[in-house]
Structure formats: C-alpha cells, structure tokens
C-alpha cells in the first residue's frame, strides 16, 4: 500500500511537469486570447507547475 | 506584430517568469534547506531516530531524532512533543529551551522538537508568513523556521477529498490528512502523516511513557487558548496544575478532551496507549486571521491593533493588552511552567511515576528572555550540538 | 500611522488598481495580480517576488482538478458518450418535463455532494445537463443559472461540505450532525430553483429534439456511455467508504483514470494524435480558470501580508450580532469570491465562536454560513463556479446577464441561510447525530 501510495505521489509530480509543458506550448501556439495580457498570464501561470515538478515547492 | 516579434515577446516573458522563479524561491529553498541547531544539556543521554519505533517512516523527512534525558534513577517518563504544528513557533522553541537546559534527577524525559519536520519546511499557503524568525541571545542571533500547519505536499500529495480518520472513520476536512494532530493514533499502512503518528504512538507504547505533553499555540479567538486539554485519565492532574499556575504564575484553564473529536493527541494517545495525554495551548496572535500585516515582529511580540479591537469587543478567550502583546518569551515561558507543573502533579498523584526535572521557569524567562537560555553552538562541545 | 489607517490606505489603493487594471487589460487574472503588486508597493513591501511565487501555489490543487476534469469531460464528449446519454434521457423522460428537470437537479447534486466541490458537479455533469435543459426549452441564461445554482448547492449538500468541515475543525467541533440540516435546505432551494427557472419553458417535440442532436455514434450505447461515470462514482465512493483499504488517489488522477476509461470505451478507435488535440484544446479552454486560481492565490497572499485581510475580517466579526445579520448576505459571499474556502477559516470560525457565546446552535449556524459562503462562488475576483458554469454550458451573453438570471434563486438561498442564522433554534431539530 505504501509503495502504491508513493507511486501515485510521484505520478503527480510528473503530471505537474506535463501540465507545465502543455501551458508553455499554449503560450506560443494558442488560437484564443492571443494578446499581450494573456501572454503575461500564461507566462506566470506556469510557475507553480514548474516548481512543483522540480520538487522545489 | 509580425510572427518573429511575437515569438520574441513570448520568449522574453517566459524568461522573465523563469527569473521570477529563481528570485522568488530564494526564501522557499532556504526554508527547505535550513537546519536549526540545538546544544543539548549535560543531562543528554542518547538520541534515536523515530523510525526505531516504526520502520515505515525510515528515510523520510519525518524520521526525526528523539532526544532522551535519562537520570538513571527509577521513576516516571515524559514525552515532550514539539512542533506537531510547525506554524506555532513557541512549541519547538519550548522544546529546544528544555533540551538546552534540562536537568533530570529522577525518571527520564524524551523530547521531539519537530514532530512534523516536513511541515516546518513549508510556508503556510495564503498566509504570507515570514519563513524565519530570529531570537536575540547574548552571543548573537539564533534563527528558527516558521512552517505550516500541515505536512509539505512535497512529502505527501495528493490530498483525499475528505480525510477519513483511522480507526473511527470520522470524516474530517481534506487537508487534515496532512495534519499530525488529526491523524493519531496513526495507521501503519496509511499516508506519511498517519505513519508518523503511528511511530509516535509506538514510541509511547514501547518506552512506556507515563505522560505525553503535546505543545501547541492557539489563536486568541479560540476558547481553549491558555488551556490544558487533557484526556479524562489525566483530568485531575491538569485541574490541579491549572489551579496552582493560575494562583501563582499565569492564568491557565483546563478542559477535558471531547470524546467525539477524533485524531487529536489528547484523545487518541489517551485511548490507545497507557500514557496520560496532555495538550497545552498558549495565546498566539500571529495565527489569528484578523491581525494586521504578517511580520516577524508580530510573531515575536504579538502586538496588534486589530487584536486589541477584538479584545475590546469581547471576542477573545484570553486577556490581551496591545501594550504587552503576547511575546515569544511569554508564550515559551508559559509552556515551560505549564509542563513543569503538570509533570509535578503526576508525581503527586502517582509517586511511582515521579519525574524529577527542572528547566528555566516562567519567571526566569520573563525576566531574562529565552535568548539567555540558548547556548552558542560555536562554543559548545561538538557532541552536544545537533542540527535539526 | 496606525495599522487601521495604513491598511485602509492600502485597501483603497488596491480597489483603485483593480478597477483601473480591469478596464485597461480586460483580463481579470492579470488585474488581480496587478492589484496585488500595487497593494504590496503601497504597503512598503516593494516587489514581493517571494510572496508572488508562494501565492501561485495557494489553489494549485484546484487548478489540477480543473484541468483533469475538463480533459475527462472533453474526451467524454469526443467519443459521443455525452450525446448518447442526452438522447437516452430525452427518449425516456421527454413527456414529463418537471420529473426530468428534478432528475437533472439530482444528477447535478451528486458529484458535489460526494466531493465537496461544486466545480466538480459543473464540470462533470454540467455540460450534459445544459444540453438537455436547452432541448427542454430553457433560455440560455437560465441554463447557465441552473447549472450554477445546482453546482453551489451540491457543494453545500452532505456528506461533504468543506466550509462546514473547516469551521468545525477551527472550532474543535466534530463534523457530525450536519447531514439533515444541510440536506433539507438544499433540497428546498433546489426544488425552488427548478420551478423558478423551468417555469414557462416549452420543450420541442421529441422528434424535433432528436433530429437536432448530432447523430448517435455507431455502437455508442447508453450503458457504454455510463461506464466512465460509473468508474468515477466507484472511485469517489471507494475513497470515502473504503479509505483504509485503498490508497489516496486524489481528484486529478481519478479524472485521468476516467478519461482513460473513456478512451477505452470509444467504439471508434481514434488515433493518439486526435487525443493530443483534445488535450491541447482542453488546456486552452480551461486556462482562464487555471489562471484565476493562480492569480487569486497571489492576491490572497498579498492581502494577508499587507494586513488588508485582517482589516476586512476584524471589521466584520467585531460588528454586533445585528450588524452581522444585516451584512452577512454581502460580506460572506464577497469573502468567498476573494478567499475561496479560506473564507470559512478567516470569517467562519471566529463567527462560530461569536454565535456560540450567545447560545445559538452552532451546527445550524455553521450550516447557514456554509450556504452564505457558497453564494460567493459567482462573485469577483475569482467567480469560480460562475465562470466554470458559463464556460461549461457555452453561454455567450455577458456575465452581468448571467448574474441577473441567477438573482432570484440566489436571493432565496441567501434568505434561507439568513433565517437559519437568525433563528437557529427553529432548525435545531434537523441536527441528528
């Protein structure tokens, strides 16, 4: 059970990384909300996903 | 804007975001990496990792050292549990002051200063706590971490949508799955916080600890502030100790642990071990939600205008005057006095469980400040210095 | 300068910054962050890089839920399962409009009741419910209002009510005795909402409706379509009732498991490339919500750091009881709009003690406050359930017109909650242990 729980725990870090990658892709290749405001929002919205994936916070 | 300029802008913003990550995580990384130092007193006998009592936490951040101060003279035993909630700083500091100054003439004392080590490496989300606070000593400043109430998600993630307490099956809020004081008596196959609770319960059972004192701080708008909360088996000792403290030192109340409130040390340790379970709460304005700017000064002094308004409106459950606040010295002093008195009462009620112990008194701390009782690691013998 | 004066000045600057940046940027997310930065600057904190980065984590788990739940639901629509279920409901219950609407209301209540998150109800069944409501003749604004109201009611409904749990935990009360005192008002308000929003709606004929729906995918039967939802239900029930034998999976992974199940039941084997497109579209679609979570977290962190949070909290809880009655219907929802579940900790717990001191039944009081907080899920700055509802149902009107359509059931819910707050003794018979 503990091993399985640890596996799930690590899966979530991978998931955070995948979401970060998806968000970065959308920063460059999105179809909706193309303006500067959402460029800025995309750029900072990746912060928690990257830092979580890197086990920093 | 042409495509090239657009890509350039986006790359620039991405780089700015990365720079923000680097700069903005300086304190976050420092909090995670920083280790507190403690210079244990000459009464120190040995230390053992908590995993000695339950292997299921070995190799994790929760595998904290248990410090033992054994007189070698038959008597009772006490466990002081500090830092179950890492955002209540007087709790680990009280444990450190005990470890640095304790003398034991009968029985033995076990101390865990950072029961939830993981929580102490995390800033409390949405509460803007400063990561560290510093205590002035005659030889310089000593720095301590201010952590979170719950285990760091880096160690335990995800949360369930509701936390089902073991073994009662009572439903608690989801984040309580990472709250050490909601996961007792613990579950060997459970999450990391539950396993840590189980390890502590095992320590208490195997070492036949007579009294467990779980040290906390409470918001002043919480009725059990300045209170002993005791399992029913420890009720009389707590009542007597509170009476004596209120008459001689500082106001102290007592409350019996509610039977329907599960997961807390004062309920589960009392129910699932032979130990007398006692929890102490001291007034801590810093953790109230209706205080002003969250600063290190507020944590150290407890002086706050909004808190005075709350006191004037009768919303607080402890006396409060903004001029004196509720300083760290006062809070740590209360815990030192509170623990000493209830241990003394155990000896009065049960002479075979007497523990002969002393550490700085409430009066001494109020007079000299806790800094006077923290020793310089640079001048201490290496065998007595521990990083924590 | 006194703390009152300093924090009031910061608050005024933040309000002005929010208004100006909302007008300038047309992005509520960016406006929140600009507001936070202005607040920090005015309060003398400079550029708060640490608080900024830390704040982005405040509601990170909710952001994960949004993304994964939407991936599941978009996959579900992609394989034609949503269409199959809508068709099945229309065929079976078309002639019984009120029964159908009640069934849809109950369907909305279940996910949120089991999980404590109204957003989950909206994301998981909101799209399906909206599709059927539209066919039953409800106007677009009413469809959005229906999904929103049932969404927030589902979060209030037992067994999991996170606000009540947080208040109970803060007040050292066990979370027991809440089931009926939450369920009865929720059912009453849900019934009213169905009647109010469904009144006057004239369904098209069954044949016209079915003709207007996309053609049923080959081999996509209603029972095949039900499999992913059954998996979700089983995982949720397992997490609650078999918590000691199952590992903690967490919502995001639950939704991804359901998304994988959806891919598995797809009768037409779509290529991986198509699924990647679905995921990319989903991320773009759900991004405003994710960004809101990240941005509001920054704002909340700065509100705490500057003491503005404390100013707002003390100004409310220090009111006399009569003042709390008079302002609860505004202050509690607004607190929810900015603090999310934090509202229950910051305002709810102190208020439980205030009401306890006057001898009120605190279980009823906590239930009432949980309803008042839930109302704030359509209010700025976060507007979580409100925005999710209009995104999910694809409402094209203004946010103001959505709020207008919601106003009457919203007020009725507020009045019921206030009544419970003012005379909690009358509802005390519903507190059963």
Q: Which domains does chain B have, with CATH numbers?
A: 34-387 (3.40.630.10)
Averaged pLDDT score across all residues of chain C: 90
Bin C298: left if φ > 0, else alpha if -120 < ψ < 50, else beta: alpha
Of the candidates C56, C51, C60, the one whose C-alpha atom is nearest the C-alpha of residue C302 is: C51
Better-scored residue on pLDDT, C204 or A57: A57
pLDDT at B265 > cutoff 70:
yes
Residues of C in contact with A44 (CB under 8 A): 33, 56, 294
Instruction: Answer yes or no: do C284 and A26 touch at CB < 8 A.
Output: yes
Surface-to-core class of residue B233, CB atoms within 10 Å of its CB (0-12 exposed, 13-18 middle, 19+ buried):
middle
Residue C218, pLDDT above cutoff 80: no
The Cα of A20 is separated from the nearest Cα of chain B by a number of Å equal to 12
Asked whether residue C305 is assigned to any structural domain, the reply reads yes
The residues facing C314 across adjacent strands are none
Q: What is the pLDDT averaged over residues C139-147?
A: 97
What residues of B are in contact with residue A55 (Cβ under 8 Å)? 154
- Global pTM value: 0.91
Residues of C whose CB is below 8 A from A12: 64, 250, 252-253
CA distance B186 to C261: 34
Q: What is the pLDDT, as a whole number, of residue C357?
A: 79
- Pairwise CB contact (< 8 Å): A51 & B25: yes
Q: Which of C154, C172, C298, C341 has the most B C-beta neighbours within 10 Å, making it the best mutation to test the interface with B?
A: C172
| Residues B145/B27, Cβ–Cβ less than 8 Å | no
The encoded tokens of residue B300 equal 């150290």
Locate the chain A residue with the closest alpha carbon to C278.
A22
How far, CA to CA in Å, does B165 sit from each of B53, B183, C156, C345, C374?
22, 7, 21, 21, 26
The count of structural domains within chain A is: 1
Average pLDDT for residues B279-305, to the nearest whole number?
94
User: Scanning the structure block, which residue is given the tokens 């008597």?
Assistant: B75
| Contact check, Cβ <8 Å, A28/B7 | yes
As a whole number of angstroms, the distance between CA C229 and CA C234 comes to 9
Closest-CA residue of chain B to A6: B156
Q: What is the pLDDT of residues A1-57, one digit of tens each?
A: 899 999 999 999 999 999 999 999 999 999 888 899 999 999 999 999 999 999 999
Closest partner residue to A39 (CB to CB) among B10, B21, B56 is B10
- For residue B70, pLDDT beyond 80: yes
The answer to whether residue B300 scores a pLDDT higher than 90 is yes
Nearest CA in chain C to B314: C318
Q: What is the mean pLDDT of residues B291-302?
A: 96
Q: Does B304 touch chain C (CB under 8 A)?
A: yes
**Partner A contacted by C247 (CB < 8 A):** yes
In a domain? residue C328: yes
Q: Which chain C residue's Cα is nearest to A36?
A: C25
Rounded to whole angstroms, how far apart are CA atoms B111 and B98?
8
Cα C138 from Cα C198, distance rounded (Å): 7
Smallest CA–CA distance, residue B11 to chain A, in Å, is: 9
More confident residue, C63 or C218: C63
Q: Can you tell me the mean pLDDT for B133-152?
A: 96
Predicted local confidence at residue C84, as pLDDT: 86
pLDDT of residue C125: 85
Q: Looking at the complex, report in whole angstroms how far the Cα of residue B211 sits from the nearest Cα belonging to chain A.
A: 31
pLDDT, position B349: 98
Q: Which residue has the higher pLDDT, B192 or C297?
A: B192
Tens digits of residue pLDDT in C50-98: 999 999 998 898 889 889 988 998 898 899 888 888 788 888 888 889 9
* pLDDT bracket for residue C433 (50, 70, 90): low
Tens-place pLDDT, residues B104-139: 999 999 999 999 999 999 988 888 999 999 999 999
User: In the structure, what pLDDT confidence band is assigned to residue C114 with cuts at 50, 70 and 90?
Assistant: confident
User: Which residues 221-240 in chain B show a CB within 8 A of chain C?
Assistant: 221-224
A27, closest residue in chain C (CA to CA): C284
Provide the 3-class DSSP secondary structure of residue B39: strand
Min distance C203 CA to chain B CA atoms (Å): 38
* β strands within chain B, DSSP E: 37-39, 46-49, 65-70, 77-81, 103-106, 108-112, 132-137, 140-145, 163-164, 171-172, 211-218, 227-230, 253-256, 276-283, 356-358, 385-387
Mean pLDDT of B336-364: 98
Q: Is residue C35 part of a domain?
A: no
- The answer to whether residues C379 and C333 touch, using CB atoms and an 8 Å cutoff, is yes
Each residue's pLDDT tens digit, B20-29: 999 999 999 9
Flag if B154 and A55 touch (Cβ within 8 Å): yes
- Is the minimum CB–CB distance between A12 and chain B shorter than 8 Å? yes
- The whole-angstrom separation of Cα B116 and Cα B388 is 12
For residue B58, give how far its alpha carbon lies from the nearest alpha carbon of chain A (Å). Answer: 12
Q: How far is C366 from chain A (nearest CA, A)?
A: 33
User: Considering CB atoms only, which of B17, B56, B153 is closest to A2?
Assistant: B56
pLDDT for B139 equals 96
Nearest Cβ partner for B160 among C51, C58, C250: C250
* Geometric angle at alpha carbon B296, from B293 and B298, rounded to 5°: 55
Highest mean pLDDT among B219-223, C77-81, C175-179, C410-414: C410-414
Looking at residue C209, its pLDDT comes to 81
How many structural domains comprise chain C?
1
B188 contacts B56 by C-beta, under 8 angstroms: yes
Instruction: Kindly state the average pLDDT of the residues B45-74.
Output: 97
Looking at the complex, report in whole angstroms how far the Cα of residue A48 sits from the nearest Cα belonging to chain C: 6
Q: Quote the percentage of chain C above a pLDDT of 90.
A: 56
Q: Which residues of chain B make contact with A26, given a CB cutoff of 8 A? A: none
Residue B106 in tokens:
């009968």
Percent of chain B, pLDDT > 70?
100
Domain range for C408 is: 48-430
Provide the residue range defining the domain that includes A28.
2-53
How far is it, in rounded angstroms, from Cα B189 to Cα B186? 9
Is some CB atom of chain B closer than 8 A to the CB atom of A40? Answer: yes
pLDDT tens, residue by residue, C350-397: 888 889 878 899 999 999 999 999 999 999 888 889 999 999 999 999
């Amino acid at each position: 059970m503990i091993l399985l729980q640890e596996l799930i725990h690590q899966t979530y870090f991978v998931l955070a990384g995948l979401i970060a990658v998806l968000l970065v892709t959308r920063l460059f290749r999105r179809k909706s909300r193309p303006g500067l405001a959402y460029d800025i929002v995309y750029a900072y919205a990746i912060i928690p996903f990257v830092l979580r994936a890197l086990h920093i916070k | 804007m042409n495509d090239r300029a657009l890509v350039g802008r986006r790359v620039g913003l991405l780089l700015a975001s990365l720079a923000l990550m680097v700069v903005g995580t300086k304190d976050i990384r420092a909090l995670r990496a920083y280790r507190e130092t403690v210079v244990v007193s000459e009464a120190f006998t040995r230390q053992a990792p908590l995993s000695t009592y339950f292997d299921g936490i070995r190799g994790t951040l929760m595998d904290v050292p248990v410090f033992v101060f054994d007189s070698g003279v038959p008597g009772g035993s006490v466990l002081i549990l500090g830092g179950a909630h890492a955002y209540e700083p007087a709790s680990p500091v009280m444990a450190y002051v005990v470890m640095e100054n304790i003398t034991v003439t009968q029985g033995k004392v076990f101390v865990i200063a950072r029961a939830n080590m993981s929580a102490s490496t995390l800033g409390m989300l949405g509460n803007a706590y400063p990561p560290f606070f510093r205590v002035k000593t005659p030889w310089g400043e000593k720095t301590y971490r201010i952590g979170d109430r719950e285990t760091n998600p880096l160690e335990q993630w995800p949360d369930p949508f509701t936390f089902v307490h073991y073994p009662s099956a009572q439903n608690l809020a989801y984040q309580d799955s990472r709250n050490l004081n909601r996961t007792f008596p613990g579950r060997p196959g459970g999450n990391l916080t539950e396993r840590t609770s189980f390890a502590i319960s095992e320590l208490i059972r195997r070492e036949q600890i007579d009294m467990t004192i779980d040290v906390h701080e409470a918001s002043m708008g919480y009725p059990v502030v300045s209170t002993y909360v005791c399992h029913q088996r420890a009720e009389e000792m707590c009542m007597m100790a509170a009476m004596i403290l209120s008459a001689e030192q500082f106001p102290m109340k007592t409350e019996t642990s509610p039977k329907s409130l599960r997961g807390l040390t004062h309920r589960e340790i009392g129910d699932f071990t032979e130990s007398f379970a006692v929890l102490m709460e001291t007034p801590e304005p810093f953790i109230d939600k209706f205080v002003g700017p969250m600063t290190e000064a507020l944590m150290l002094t407890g002086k706050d205008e909004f808190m005075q308004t709350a006191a004037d409106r009768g919303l607080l459950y402890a006396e409060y005057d903004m001029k004196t606040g509720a300083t760290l010295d006062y809070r740590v002093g209360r815990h030192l006095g509170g623990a000493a008195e209830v241990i003394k009462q155990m000896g009065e009620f049960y002479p075979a469980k007497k523990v002969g112990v002393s550490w700085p008194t409430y009066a001494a701390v109020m007079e000299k400040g806790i800094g006077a009782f923290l020793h310089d690691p640079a001048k201490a013998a290496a065998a007595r210095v521990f990083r924590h | 300068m006194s703390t009152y004066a300093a924090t009031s000045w910061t608050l005024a600057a933040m309000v002005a910054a929010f208004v100006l940046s909302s007008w300038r940027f047309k992005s509520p997310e960016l406006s929140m962050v600009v507001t936070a930065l202005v607040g920090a600057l005015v309060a003398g904190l400079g550029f708060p890089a640490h608080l900024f980065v830390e704040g982005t984590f405040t509601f990170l788990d909710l952001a994960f839920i949004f993304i994964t739940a939407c991936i599941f639901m978009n996959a579900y629509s992609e394989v034609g399962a949503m269409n199959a279920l809508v068709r099945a409901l229309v065929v079976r219950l078309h002639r019984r409009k009120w029964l159908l609407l009640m069934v849809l209301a109950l369907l909305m209540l279940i996910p949120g009741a089991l999980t404590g998150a109204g957003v989950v109800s909206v994301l998981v069944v909101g799209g399906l419910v909206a599709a059927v409501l539209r066919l039953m003749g409800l106007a677009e604004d009413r469809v959005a209002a229906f999904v929103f109201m049932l969404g927030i009611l589902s979060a209030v409904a037992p067994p999991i009510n996170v606000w009540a749990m947080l208040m109970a935990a803060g007040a050292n009360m066990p979370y027991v005795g809440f089931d009926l005192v939450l369920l009865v008002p929720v059912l009453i308000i849900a019934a009213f909402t169905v009647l109010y929003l469904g009144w006057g709606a004239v369904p098209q004929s069954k044949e016209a409706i079915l003709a207007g729906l996309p053609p049923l995918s080959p081999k996509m039967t209603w029972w095949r379509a039900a499999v992913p939802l059954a998996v979700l239900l089983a995982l949720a029930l397992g997490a609650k009732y078999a918590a000691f034998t199952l590992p903690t999976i967490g919502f995001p992974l639950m939704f991804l498991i359901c998304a994988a199940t959806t891919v598995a039941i797809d009768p037409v084997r779509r290529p991986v490339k198509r699924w990647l497109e679905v995921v990319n579209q989903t991320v773009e679609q759900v991004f405003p919500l994710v960004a809101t979570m990240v941005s509001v977290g920054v704002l909340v962190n700065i509100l705490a750091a500057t003491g503005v949070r404390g100013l707002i909290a003390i100004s409310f809880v220090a009111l006399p009881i009569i003042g709390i009655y008079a302002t609860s219907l505004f202050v509690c929802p607004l607190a929810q709009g900015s603090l999310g579940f934090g509202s229950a900790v910051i305002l709810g717990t102190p208020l439980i003690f205030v009401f306890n001191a006057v001898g009120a039944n605190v279980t009823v009081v906590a239930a009432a406050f949980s309803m008042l907080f839930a109302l704030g899920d359509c209010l700025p700055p976060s507007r979580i359930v409100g925005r999710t509802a209009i995104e999910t149902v694809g409402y094209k009107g203004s946010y103001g017109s959505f709020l207008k359509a919601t106003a009457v059931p919203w007020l009725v819910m507020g009045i019921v909650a206030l009544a419970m707050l003012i005379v909690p003794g009358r509802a005390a018979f519903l507190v059963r242990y």
